[in-house]
Structure 1
Amino acid sequence: MAGSQHDPRLPQTDNPAALAKPGGHYSHVAIANGFVFVSGQLPISAQGDKLADASFEVQAEQVLANVQAALESAGSSIAQLVQVRVYIVDVEHWMSFNQIYARWAGEARPARAVVPVPQLHYGFKIEVEATALV
């Protein structure tokens, strides 16, 4: 985490090197009161490659890898997830996502919502945000 002097009344924020620089005015990670909040992760590689033309499955795997990198940068893990929110462009992808997610999450079973949406930024098919314990 950046900064050596931190006001405990304010959240700590970070943009891990394992993730591409945010495309807007936000941080990938915010930590407050024992929780880590991971901003909505899109299928963008650490090098900044936007995977909008990739299959849904490739996009889902990249997004979950990004969530994991964000969690680990904050000293958290998949096992410490509390809630996951998933936005998918086509509800037909739900079954495929559920299988990919189950492999990724393993024994962890946080609260989760999968929300069909009409579209996502850059034409992506999936976005995932998460909250976990630190």
Structure 2
Amino acid sequence: MSNIPADLRYTKDHEYVRTTTDSGVVAIGITDFAQGELGDIVYVELPKVGATYGEHDVFGTVEAVKAVSELFMPVSGEVVEVNGRLDGEPALINTDPYGDGWMIKVRLAAGGDAGLMTADEYKAQVG
């Protein structure tokens, strides 16, 4: 069974959203389920700070040994930080998806976090 922390919100596309200590800013990454399905992650392409996205926009890609997958923005907002460690250590997404493997931090646009699932709803989706 995948690790699905109760304090996060989730998308049907297997991204998670975590609130941060900075009001209005959330951290985004892919779930433990997603990294497990992808296998060994070897490269991540992420946006630049200042880029803005709407909900469901493609904001990057994850390349694993067996597949390349697009990353879909779970919220609307502006990228305020990118996890630079992933350039040299993309496997952090496999080993610690909810910790050191976070991808970007986004300042939410007004109403930018609608439609996210709770942990229980996400668990029901992934079985």
Determine which structure has the larger helix proportion and give its number: 1
TM-score relative to the length of structure 1: 0.33
Greater gyration radius:
1
Determine which structure has the larger strand proportion and give its number: 2
TM-score relative to the length of structure 2: 0.34
